[in-house]
Amino acid sequence: MARPSNSPERSPLELVIFDMDQVLCRYDLPLRLRRLAQLCGLTPEAVRAAIWESGFEPAAEAGAFDSGAYLAGFGERLGIPLSRSQWVAARRMAMTPRPEMLALVATLKRRVAVALLTNNGFLTKETMSDLFPELPPLFEAHLSVSAEFGARKPDAEVYRRLLGRVGVAPGAVLMVDDSAANVAGAEAAGLHGHVFDGVRGLASRLAQFGLCVM
């Protein structure tokens, strides 16, 4: 007999992994593009093509560059000597924390371990205290960017490598991401998944595992 969809999962969770952009914060890429365009004298469309549509940013997210090479390459593609502080300011202005999600994570971590896994390069990890100061104390040692694992979501390997680091079996882990493709990648690696559509939907999903956060 099929188990009702609202009944508890049989495997208790030991770890919940969260994406960052569009989950823990609202991320306005067009705003970031406009700021970078102002700095370099290009159009936002040209900035997007040079960084995001050229393969440069995905390569950085998969660990192709250290932070210095990434920042230099970023500036070269925009035609300016971009400073670290300029890069940080442009990204930070596009990020608006979701207080309700930060509160949910803080409540949840009293019951199970929590981790962050975001598709980003090493520079994001190094500057996280400036970009999103609430996250380092919330996730501590389990704050990770995809570049650390030499792969990026939705590649199932990035989840396997993260779990190998923390020492938790896939069946005891839930991945929360706004991308259905990223969630499918996690499920392919044996994790449970949840496509984020708001705090209430996530609270309902966690309740299926016996974790009440609201």
For the domain that residue 180 is a member of, what is the CATH number? 3.40.50.1000
Task: Give the Cα-Cα-Cα angle 57, 66, 141 (nearest 5 degrees).
Answer: 95
Kindly state whether residues 155 and 183 are assigned to the same domain: yes
Kindly state whether residues 131 and 33 are assigned to the same domain: no
Kindly state whether residues 109 and 196 are assigned to the same domain: yes
- 23: domain range? 15-27+97-207
Question: What total number of domains does the chain contain?
Answer: 2
Q: Which residue has the tokens 């493709």?
A: 181
CA distance 172 to 92: 33
In a domain, residue 5? The reply is no
In a domain, residue 213? The reply is no
Terminal CA-CA length for the chain: 30
Kindly state whether residues 41 and 60 are assigned to the same domain: yes
pTM value surpassing 0.75: yes
Exposed/middle/buried for 127, CB within 10 Å: 0-12, 13-18, 19+? middle
Final residue of a domain: which of 60, 92, 124?
92
Per-residue pLDDT of the chain (214 residues; tens, 9 = 90+): 233 344 444 448 999 999 999 999 999 999 999 999 999 999 999 999 999 999 999 999 999 999 999 999 999 999 999 999 999 999 999 999 999 999 999 999 999 999 999 999 999 999 999 999 999 999 999 999 999 999 999 999 999 999 999 999 999 999 999 999 999 999 999 999 999 999 999 999 999 999 988 7
In a domain, residue 132? The reply is yes
Kindly state whether residues 74 and 127 are assigned to the same domain: no
